[in-house]
Structure 1
Amino acid sequence: MDDLEKYVEAGSAAKNSGGFTKWLTKHAVMFYPRSKRLVVTFDSMKSRDAIAPVYPWGYNFVAKHGWSHLGIMMVDRNDWFRHPSLWACLDRFRKKGFFEQFDEVVFYGSSMGGYGALAYAPLSPGATVVALTPQTSLDPRIVPFETRFPAPFSRGIWTGPYADGVAGAASAKKVYVLADPFFAPDAQHVMRLQTDNLIWLKTPHLKNQAANVLKNGKLLSTIVPDAWGGTLTAQSFDKQFDALRLSKPFARVLIHSAIDAGHYALAERALDAISEAHPKWAFSPLHEKLQSAAGDGQRH
């Protein structure tokens, strides 16, 4: 455990709000009581790199909506929340009835945090899960297709409780998953979750940037509270997502993807059309990337 200083302010805020902080071997658990509705968040991969003071992932957003907040924080090197001290701590909360004091419980996270939200959902059976581009496991015995995160896999302990997001999701009332159906590394995880409680919020062609694009397009802040409350449907999401297709963040990601895939002519046509339709959209870096990539492609 390192750099604990940057978490001190968040821990003090939890205590001052009437909550608490639990310091564990590799994690911290911070509770901020506000209402009878609870959001349990799990840090993202980049949380530890944030500049002090560091609060639990999603802190400001949860506070804005007035929900109580239990933040599961990664204060050592990422291990995908696979350490006995963490699951033992959370299991004690469950046995003591901590989650039962709330009328609604939501587990929420992105990527690594999305895995945490899925895997630990049995702490409160009947809860809602909102997972953005999540993994269901890193264990090659059950997800042999997942090869992106060898270092975190090696740090985690993949036996014990709360290990598989699929088993965790089965205990939830609703499971909202945001993911690109055409991006195999993420889609294969969602396919493992094919149960009646799954609501797949499909973001075609955005790959693992779906959450960032929705955030930049001001859509994430709209759909997430609806998902927390269980009112969001796949159909209502699709309508809002269709409107996002006309936005600058969406266009930027699509052009990046076309360039990375070697579709230089397609990227050039798209850039020209977008620049003509939206002359104030500054896409100079994309033009430079396209010229460089196309030049390299011609040389090879």
Structure 2
Amino acid sequence: MTKDLSPRLIFDGPDLRLVYVPAEKRGPLVVTFSPLVHQDFDPPVGFGQEFFAKRGLACLCFISAWPHWWQVPDIEKALSIAREVVRQHSRVITYGSSMGGHGALLHSRALGATTVIAAAPQFSIDPAKAPFERRWRHRASKLTFNWDDMKAGLAPKARKYIIYDPLSIDRKHVQRLRSPRIIRVGLPFSGHAPLAYLSHIGLLSDTILSMIGNKFSLLSLKEAVRAQRRGNPDYWGEMALALQQRGRYQAAVEALRTAKSLDASAIQPRLRLAQNMWRLGLGEEALQELEEAVTMRPRHEGARKLFASMLAQSIQSVSEDPAKLEALHERYRSAIDSDGELQALISAPKATPHLTNG
């Protein structure tokens, strides 16, 4: 008789759901926690669910209905049900990214984890515990943090892989994690998306599976990353951000040009390239980059507003020179005349274009 391996919804609450996908053999169980950007609550599909199912690994997926960092009453009942599943398996690996990485660490003891894989996790987003963390203050203001004791939640005997960018703010969270058997897997210039970074250079699957199988080699990963990273646009984008924060705008421009050459369809490197060019006084080149960006993505609000802001300031700067003013209008006439919304943005009062982390 063939075993039923279809996903099973074993807990259905207003704030989180729990999906169990069995495997043919009773081996290890991967327990995943969804990240903030996960959209598959209804119908429920867990983080990494398809990846592990295809590889014959059982998985149990905690799926959040909204970005609550697992600070909801449902978590107690869900963990109780999860422990019933855990007892059927030989080993337990908790896994997640960002908010999901936080959950994988926070509930590792409760789930009896033998291995934890947490990418860019937070120690906490409670301002009282992580005052340096401002990225999710608006989210934190809605939470009570009644289930946010990381010290008590960490499984002391579990091998804990923390994948993160040591040059980003995420390192401050990692520094606050105090527990035996923590293995820090630092990936410089991977930003807040080290899993995407590894995926882009073709190393994600092997890395995660080697951690699950207790065969991971940090030295081997670092050698493989060094061999592949220069072809990854995210690497250059994060390098540019680090240079930009140090005021090295020319070097940031060169890094972003490389990122753009590796992925011409990406919009964010173009916007940041234009911003850094603007800071260097390369207004015409910045406008050309933004014109291309708006042409590529006509409805991208950030590109449209930045283009309008820079163009309006360029027009203002040559308002006393009729020849330059006419040349500027002529150069961008088709872009302006064909877009009433862009005309309105240009006519509105403008703030100085600023550098962003986007």
Q: Secondary structure at the match of 2:92?
A: strand
1:209: Cα distance to partner?
Answer: 2.9
Q: Deviation per CA, 1:183-208, whole angstroms, max 9, x where unpaired? A: 1x211111122433111110112221
Q: Is the 8 A contact 1:42 1:56 kept in 2?
A: yes
1:169: Cα distance to partner?
Answer: 2.6
Q: Secondary structure at the match of 1:31?
A: strand
TM-score by length of 2: 0.68
Q: Deviation per CA, 1:76-111, whole angstroms, max 9, x where unpaired? A: x211111112223313543xx431221111100000
Task: Output aligned runs, 1:156-235, within 5 Å.
Answer: 156-160=143-147, 163-183=148-168, 185-235=169-219
Task: Output aligned runs, 1:1-300, within 5 Å.
Answer: 17=6, 19-34=8-23, 35-36=25-26, 37-48=28-39, 54-75=44-65, 77-94=66-83, 97-160=84-147, 163-183=148-168, 185-254=169-238, 256-257=240-241, 260-261=244-245, 262-270=247-255, 274=258, 281-283=262-264, 286=269, 289-298=272-281
- By relative contact order (CA 8 Å, sep 6+), the higher-ranking structure is 1
1:18: Cα distance to partner?
Answer: 7.2
Q: Is the 8 A contact 1:110 1:131 kept in 2?
A: yes
- Unpaired runs of at least 5, structure 2: 284-351, 353-358
1:138: Cα distance to partner?
Answer: 1.7
- Do the aligned partners of residues 240 and 144 (structure 1) sit closer, same or farther apart at CA in structure 2, a change above 3 Å counting? same
Q: Deviation per CA, 1:123-167, whole angstroms, max 9, x where unpaired? A: 23352100110112122232222222123323333124xx23343
**CA distance, structure 2, for counterparts of residue 16 and residue 145 of structure 1:** 44
> Which piece of structure 1 moves more, 245-254 or 169-178?
245-254
Aligned-residue Cα RMSD (Å) equals 2.9
- Greater C-alpha radius of gyration: 2
Q: Which amino acid aligns with 2:68?
A: D
1:42: Cα distance to partner?
Answer: 0.8
List structure 1 runs of 4+ shifted beyond 6 angstroms: none
Q: Is the 8 A contact 2:36 2:98 kept in 1?
A: yes
Q: Is the 8 A contact 1:258 1:264 kept in 2?
A: no
Q: Which amino acid aligns with 1:88?
A: K
Q: Secondary structure at the match of 1:141?
A: coil
- Do the aligned partners of residues 194 and 244 (structure 1) sit closer, same or farther apart at CA in structure 2, a change above 3 Å counting? farther
Q: Which amino acid aligns with 2:105?
A: L
**CA distance, structure 2, for counterparts of residue 150 and residue 280 of structure 1:** 35
- Unpaired runs of at least 5, structure 1: 1-14
TM-score by length of 1: 0.80
**CA distance, structure 1, for counterparts of residue 19 and residue 229 of structure 2:** 37
Aligned positions, number: 275
- Do the aligned partners of residues 293 and 153 (structure 1) sit closer, same or farther apart at CA in structure 2, a change above 3 Å counting? same
